[in-house]
Chain A
Amino acid sequence: MGPKARPKCRLATVSPHKLRIQNPESRNMWIRRPLLGHEASGTVLEVGKNVKTLKPGDRVAIEPGVGCRTCSFCKKGKYHLCSDMIFCASPPYDGNLCRYYVHDADFCFKLPDNVSLEEGTLIEPLAVGVHACKRAKVRFGDVVLILGAGPIGLVTLLAAKAMGATKTIITDLVGGRLDKAKELGVDYTLKIEKNMTEVETVSKIGELLQEAPDVSLECTGVEQCVRVALEATKTGGVVALVGLGKFELTLPLENAILREVDIRGVFRYNNDYPAAIEMVKTGKVDLKPLITHHFRIQDSGKAFHMAKTGEGNPIKILIHPNPDDYY
């Protein structure tokens, strides 16, 4: 691995997918007791002797996944697809929900003075949004449909707007989530009712937008939403699949094939932290409305309980390992 910096882990956020770890399918994993946490920021305390880009006192956003640097994926710039990727809190690797943590210096990104450590923790999900929009080839002037207004749908919305989308629409089952999306600047919202058919959903999207979206970013993983994305997207457009759901999906592929609607998967991010940080620094993206709850590290159990149950309608829950932070 490259030269290390040692950020003192100040904040970490809880991401819903961590809850899957609580399903003890792997006995080895439970015996090992892995550390959780991968959406984090910290303050550099100490640097390895070869580190030249960071110094003690620097506040950084931590990109949690480091590739092997030597395989053809890494050398082609797609290190996120490296088969030997070491990713925080992806078994068997420890995460960074701890007071002190060591990481490769080139995967720690200095935060500008006007970006707080709290916003720094959200650079990770924002990077997912940035990467999704890059995969979907979001350009200035695009009309963008986002399915799902959970945290990932919301950061994808923020990234799409920052990257030039001039008309955006977001869908969800839950009205409260759509309200949050409105607060973040989405142009149109569509509340999905349980009895709405796909045809109706596609039709309503078209009515609201007065045209078909150039790009759809699917952030739920729900089969019906993926189907809607394929049917609603403009001919020649792109559907980016961010959400993860069932392994096998039944999809109206012929429609997409004949209309040359490209389908592109999205997995994490690569080389996206600088753009994400720049978006926050310049004010193009405001992450603060996404932070709803705070816990000390001693109360991590409570934090995860809230994330699991949805009690209190959390969006992003921050856990603070630094004992000097008062929450």
Chain B
Amino acid sequence: MFSCNSGGADAKDNLSAVLCGINDLRLEQRPVPKPRDHRKYLSPNKPSQCTPTLEVLLQMESVGICGSDVHFLVHGKIGPFVVTDPMIIGHEASGTVVEIGKKVKTLKPGDRVAIEPGVGCRMCSYCKEGRYHLCPDMAFCATPPIDGNLSRFFAHDEDFCFKLPDHLTYDEGALMEPLAVAVHSLKQANFRLGQVLLVMGAGPIGLVTMLAGKAIGASAVLVTDTEDFRLKKAKDFGADCVYQMCEDKPEDEIVQEIKEELGCEPHATIDCAGAVQAIRISLKVTRTGGVVVLTGMGQLEMNIPLTSAIFREVDIKGVFRYNNDYPMAIDMVASGRANVKPLVTHHFKIEDTVKAFETAKTREGNPIKIMIHPNPNWQHCL
């Protein structure tokens, strides 16, 4: 499972997976970056900002495919972010430090790290107030126009690389990114030990949210989905109970059945589906005084039963990525409280990236998390 280092500054092979257009993913060579220890522009769109960055050069080991990567491939855009120029894809990743900038103090070559892909400008009020994920000049891997990290080598800010404990694999390191989304969602829900959690949607995000909820100490977690086999996986991975959503069933009946299955109303409901029906149910089923957290993204406009949430003081909170959540995500896995290994179902070498994305698109073999491995020495071990 552990790949060995191969080259650093001398290596010329920086094969990278580049999104060149809709359904046009190509493997191309890119220059091996040099880790910077001076100012650089973080956001090419707004070169007015520049901040101190101390960088490390990483040999990339595991890069997971996210739904957003697939979305960019198939649609060429997500909301205001449009792929106009070739862009390296990938943002859920881990790697090995091979070279460090002059002033880097916390990392050294050989260190294995999970990579937090989004760096703020560090100077605006959002960044200074600790909410750097909301920075308007955020530079996020594989959100245009910023290149992602599905390449053999990648340079990144030192303080956004988190050392992995020895017993964690690179795959687990790459899973810190979706797990951080889950941690952030649970923070937004103000979720506490002993509370009851409802998770709508048993895709990868729903599953890590369930795992993180259990890790924090949920007394029970119920996961819903429309698909039977996804619910089975949720149960296998530790969900206390599951419920199959049906589009045709009346909402109030669904609400009642969920309450019966859980034995009570949930303190918090985290929607990881982005589907209107799921969000509507979330607002109706959550306990008075509870919280509904919307992590999944769907339609821009939705018809929702707001009045009940208002006079029952059910708060509604959005989720966008994460901030300062990697340490907790790493702790959850390192302590054994969350087991994310079973989420990885498929492995590909970087040369087979196109196949990997095909698998993600067609869902052949029912993938949960597909891992791509840019290290040429990577070998699949069982």
The CA-CA distance from A1 to B52 in the complex, in Å, is 6
Chain B interface size range: 20 to 34
Q: Is the CB of A270 within 8 A of B52?
A: no
Verify if A50 is at the interface (C-beta below 8 Å from B).
yes
Q: Is the CB of B50 within 8 A of A50?
A: yes
> Considering the complex, which residues of chain A in the window 35-67 have a beta carbon less than 8 Å from any beta carbon of chain B?
50-52
* A to B contact number (C-beta, < 8 Å): 54
The CA-CA distance from A78 to B127 in the complex, in Å, is 10
User: Of A2, A51, A76, A104, which one neighbours B130 at CB under 8 angstroms?
Assistant: A76
Verify if A75 is at the interface (C-beta below 8 Å from B).
yes
Q: Which residues of B contact A78 (CB under 8 A)?
A: 130
Q: Is the CB of A271 within 8 A of B157?
A: no
Q: What count of chain A residues pass the 8 Å CB interface test? A: 21
Q: Is the CB of B132 within 8 A of A106?
A: no
**Chain B minimum-CB-distance residue to A70:** B159
Q: Which residues of B contact A174 (CB under 8 A)?
A: none
Contact pattern, B 112-132, Cβ under 8 Å of A = 1, otherwise 0: 000000000011110111111
The CA-CA distance from A77 to B120 in the complex, in Å, is 13
Q: Which residues of A contact B47 (CB under 8 A)?
A: 50
**Chain B minimum-CB-distance residue to A271:** B129
Verify if B219 is at the interface (C-beta below 8 Å from A).
no
Verify if A197 is at the interface (C-beta below 8 Å from B).
no
Q: Is the CB of B131 within 8 A of A77?
A: yes
Verify if B339 is at the interface (C-beta below 8 Å from A).
no
Contact pattern, B 126-151, Cβ under 8 Å of A = 1, otherwise 0: 01111110000000000000000000
User: Of B52, B125, B129, B158, which one neighbours A69 at CB under 8 angstroms?
Assistant: B52
> Considering the complex, which residues of chain B in the window 324-367 have a beta carbon less than 8 Å from any beta carbon of chain A?
324, 327
User: Of B48, B123, B131, B159, which one neighbours A71 at CB under 8 angstroms?
Assistant: B159
Verify if B51 is at the interface (C-beta below 8 Å from A).
yes
Contact pattern, A 1-24, Cβ under 8 Å of B = 1, otherwise 0: 111000000000000000000000
* A-B residue pairs in contact (CB < 8 Å), sample of 15: A1-B52, A2-B52, A2-B123, A3-B50, A3-B123, A69-B51, A69-B52, A69-B122, A69-B123, A70-B52, A70-B157, A77-B131, A106-B123, A106-B124, A271-B125
* A-B contacts besides A71-B159, A77-B131, A104-B123, 19 pairs, CB < 8 Å: A2-B50, A2-B52, A2-B122, A3-B49, A3-B123, A51-B48, A70-B157, A70-B158, A72-B327, A74-B128, A75-B130, A75-B323, A76-B130, A76-B324, A78-B130, A106-B123, A271-B125, A271-B128, A274-B125
A-B interface, 7 closest residue pairs, ranked by CB to CB distance from nearest: A77-B130, A52-B48, A69-B122, A70-B159, A77-B129, A76-B130, A106-B123
Instruction: List residues of B whose CB falls within 8 A of some A CB.
Output: 47-52, 54, 122-125, 127-132, 157-159, 323-324, 327
